[in-house]
Structure 1
Amino acid sequence: MTPQDMVLTRQGLRFMGRMWPCTIGKGGIRADKREGDGATPVGVHRIVGFLYRPDRMARPVDWALPIRPGDLWSDDPTHEDYNLLVRAPYPYSHETLRRADPLYDLVLLTDWNWPRAEKGRGSAIFLHRWRRPGYPTEGCVAFRPDHLKRIAGLIRYETRLIVPASLT
């Protein structure tokens, strides 16, 4: 582990000398993550992207990309675009990135099952805003909005999300 690593613990996310409260997937932590299980996968996950809503906030860091109208994330394991950013119209199963609620106003992308997705292993694991404290996600790691903004500003090229197997 390096000082830039984010380490998930039972108390929250340890990062940059601080413990950040967070929520995880409703399916708990699993070493055998599958599409739709709601679990947060065990492993060492690199941060590979940063998306934000330009109509709701200024560009948070220079490498952040805007979420545009029509941006979607494919979660259809039968399609070749599985676990990739796609554009509407997209007739296969997907998640809308430009949501009416603020859940995805700021999204950090991990390399879980990406860029060459293994069918059925589960689509994207994001770091995003939580709905409310203690409310689980579909497998992502979620934070208080102001904490997410702070975390996003502290991330470096080497930053990884570590989800230890000891949490299963």
Structure 2
Amino acid sequence: MMSLFRSVTAAVLLLATAPVLATPLDGSTQLVVVTTEGWDATQGKLQAFERTAQGWQPHGAAVDVAVGRSGSAWGEGLHPAQAGTPQKQEGDGRSPAGIFAIGPAFGYAPGVTSGLPYQPMRDTSYCMDVPDSPYYNRIVDAEVVGAEAVEGSTEPMRLDLHNKGDVRYREGFVIEHNPKATPGRGSCIFAHLWRAPGEATAGCTAMAPAPMTTLLAWLQASARPRFVLLPRAEYQRLQAEWQLPVLAGSVP
């Protein structure tokens, strides 16, 4: 009997001291959520959330966004790897799905109102989307790395100078997909302005200027903000496991 008591006591102590498994949103108090109607959908809704003592609460109204011209696919970020298809690949026209850190803001102006670090783009700024480049999935300056190092990039960051006044990268922020820069798994994923309302992207998330300006002003690096993009069915499947906010119209 004493042996049984000791065994039960040891088991209780073990459970009491077992570490709580982390979730991808641990430590984050700001969340940007994009949901779509399916893997092939090119349109979605964006809702910001902030964590309070009562849990995740909506911040502002939901806004329309456009995503990849081919829809979305599982990306590489802070979430556990997901089996099955589709899986994000370079050039597939899909936005990466999952949970991602939010990186620096960027744009054409010398500065922007935001709590994120800011990178002003120059006519020599490029994001490297060439899988075998040592700078793959990084924004670099050709004046620093050399003109040869950016050869083959299709992502000049001053689109207005390279593409007749294109405003898409006038304001935006980096979505940290593929942080290990695995060749071929996709690169240069941003939230940016849309060229025309609802126009799908090559894999980024695009929106109107007003909500982008509001979002940038709200985001704070100290809040460890996260970006979530999921088809609605996947969001509902993973909501409890990943401790995601309950969406409007969903049953808690």
Identity %, equivalent residues: 28
From 53, 66, 69, the counterpart of 2:108 = 53
Unaligned runs of 5+ in 2: 1-24, 37-43, 49-58, 75-86, 161-165, 235-252
From 207, 215, 220, the counterpart of 1:156 = 220
TM-score, normalised relative to structure 1: 0.89
Q: Within 2, Cα distance between the matches of 1:166 and 1:69? A: 39
Aligned length: 165
> Would you say the 8 A contact 2:30–2:225 is kept in 1?
yes
Please give the per-residue CA displacement for 1:63-110, whole angstroms capped at 9, x wherever unaligned. Answer: 222112200000000111111112232223341001121110112001
Unaligned runs of 5+ in 1: none
Q: Within 1, Cα distance between the matches of 2:198 and 2:173? A: 20
- Which aligned segments of 4 or more residues in structure 1 are displaced greater than 4 angstroms? 165-168
Please give the per-residue CA displacement for 1:129-153, whole angstroms capped at 9, x wherever unaligned. Answer: 0111221000100010111111111
RMSD over aligned CA atoms reads: 1.9
From 155, 163, 181, the counterpart of 1:95 = 155
Matched, 1:4 2:30: yes
> Would you say the 8 A contact 2:73–2:94 is kept in 1?
yes
Choose between structure 1 and 2: higher helix proportion.
Answer: 2
Aligned to 2:181: 117
Deviates more, 1:67-76 or 1:2-11: 2-11
TM-score, normalised relative to structure 2: 0.61
Q: Provide closer, same or farther for how the CA distance between residues 151 and 126 of structure 1 changes in structure 2, counting only shifts above 3 A.
A: same
> Would you say the 8 A contact 1:43–1:165 is kept in 2?
no
Aligned to 2:93: 38
Q: Within 1, Cα distance between the matches of 2:114 and 2:107? A: 10
Computing the radius of gyration from Cα coordinates, the structure with the larger value is: 2
Deviates more, 1:60-69 or 1:103-112: 60-69
> Would you say the 8 A contact 2:126–2:153 is kept in 1?
no
The SS at the match of 1:108 is strand
The one-letter amino acid paired with 1:9 is T
Q: Within 2, Cα distance between the matches of 1:91 and 1:124? A: 16
